[in-house]
């Protein structure tokens, strides 16, 4: 049977690597502040254009963490950036920013009009290197926020620890089937189960056996 195309397609989730990238944020209120903190966490270079800014945004500007231009948006401001976020209280400004960004091939999010967004922002929870993101494709932000809290609470210290261990192993072991099998065992197999029970010595011994067995060159002492 042929699948019918959904009348409202779902949004496509990605995790952007913004380190060193230039982001423009138009607006300086509470919503803009949340976006600013998130893109700064991702290592972006941030320019904020808004006549008024929250105390936190002003402090970040004073500390040199972002550049704040205390004025209204004007035509052409989108140029020279990699990503554009608009969060003002004026729908006409959101529209202007979105149109200009698209004209120069930039991806834009306006906090107030899903129809103008090239991408929407999910509700985000962080636990160590793990990100929980929930989107409702613009239909129910309050529900996305509620689900995000419930799901993030299920990510335990054990999962964070496993993610860090897995990251370390991926850095030190060569790619290949042996590494894939081992990493699955660490994440969801018996090695992970031993670690979850706090049996680190036994887990380490299993890991060492597995490294020797798989003939993966690695630290086996």
Ligand X SMILES: C[C@@]1(CC(=O)O)C2=NC(=C\c3[nH]c(c(CCC(=O)O)c3CC(=O)O)Cc3[nH]c(c(CC(=O)O)c3CCC(=O)O)/C=C3\N/C(=C\2)[C@@H](CCC(=O)O)[C@]3(C)CC(=O)O)/[C@H]1CCC(=O)O
Ligand Y SMILES: NC(=O)c1ccc[n+]([C@@H]2O[C@H](COP(=O)([O-])OP(=O)(O)OC[C@H]3O[C@@H](n4cnc5c(N)ncnc54)[C@H](O)[C@@H]3O)[C@@H](O)[C@H]2O)c1
Q: Which residues bind ligand X (CB under 6 A)?
A: 34, 109, 111-114, 117, 120-123, 135-138, 141-142, 144-145, 148
- Does the protein bind ligand Y through residue 50 (CB under 6 A)? yes
Q: What is the DSSP letter of 129?
A: T
* CB-based contacts of 171, cutoff 8 Å, min separation 6: none
Residue showing the smallest CB distance to ligand Y in the complex: 29
Interatomic CA distance for residues 220 and 132, integer angstroms: 34
Provide, rounded to whole angstroms, the least separation between the CB of residue 50 and ligand Y.
Answer: 4
Interatomic CA distance for residues 43 and 187, integer angstroms: 28
In the complex with ligand X, which residue's Cβ is closer, 90 or 113?
A: 113
Provide, rounded to whole angstroms, the least separation between the CB of residue 116 and ligand Y.
Answer: 11
Q: Are 26 and 49 in contact (CB under 8 A)?
A: yes
Both tokens of residue 151?
């799901």
- Does the protein bind ligand Y through residue 87 (CB under 6 A)? yes
CB atoms within 10 A of CB 37: 16
Provide, rounded to whole angstroms, the least separation between the CB of residue 82 and ligand Y.
Answer: 19
Of positions 11, 40, 45, 112, contacts ligand Y by CB under 6 A:
112
In the complex with ligand X, which residue's Cβ is closer, 75 or 142?
A: 142
Of positions 23, 24, 26, 85, contacts ligand Y by CB under 6 A:
26
> Of ligand Y, ligand X, none, which one sits near residue 51, judging by CB under 5 to 8 A according to partner kind?
ligand Y
- Does the protein bind ligand Y through residue 27 (CB under 6 A)? yes
Of positions 32, 60, 78, 108, contacts ligand Y by CB under 6 A:
32
- Write out the DSSP string of 40-101: HHTT-EEEEE-SS--HHHHHHHHTTSSEEE-S---TTTTTT-SEEEE--S-HHHHHHHHHHH
Provide, rounded to whole angstroms, the least separation between the CB of residue 30 and ligand Y.
Answer: 4
Ordered strands of the 22-26 beta sheet? 67-69, 45-49, 22-26, 83-86, 107-110
């Amino acid at each position: 049977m042929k699948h019918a195309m959904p009348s409202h397609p779902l949004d496509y989730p990605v995790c952007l690597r913004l380190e060193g990238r230039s982001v423009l944020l138009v607006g300086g209120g509470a919503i803009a502040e949340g976006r600013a903190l998130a893109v700064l966490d991702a290592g972006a270079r941030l320019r904020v254009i808004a006549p008024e800014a929250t105390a936190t945004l002003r402090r970040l500007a004073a500390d040199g963490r972002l550049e704040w231009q205390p004025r209204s948006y004007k035509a052409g401001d989108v140029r020279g950036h990699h990503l554009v976020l608009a969060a003002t209280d004026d729908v006409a400004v959101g529209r202007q920013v979105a149109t200009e960004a698209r004209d120069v091939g930039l991806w834009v999010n306006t906090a107030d009009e899903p129809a103008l967004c090239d991408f929407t922002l999910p509700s985000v929870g962080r636990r160590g290197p793990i990100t929980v993101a929930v989107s409702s494709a613009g239909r129910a932000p309050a529900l996305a926020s509620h689900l995000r809290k419930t799901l993030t609470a299920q990510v335990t210290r054990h999962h964070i620890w496993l993610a860090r261990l897995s990251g370390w192993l991926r850095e030190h072991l060569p790619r290949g089937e042996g590494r894939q099998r081992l990493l699955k065992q660490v994440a969801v197999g018996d090695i992970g189960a031993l670690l979850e029970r706090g049996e680190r010595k036994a887990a380490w011994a299993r890991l060492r056996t597995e490294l020797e067995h798989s003939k993966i060159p690695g630290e086996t002492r």
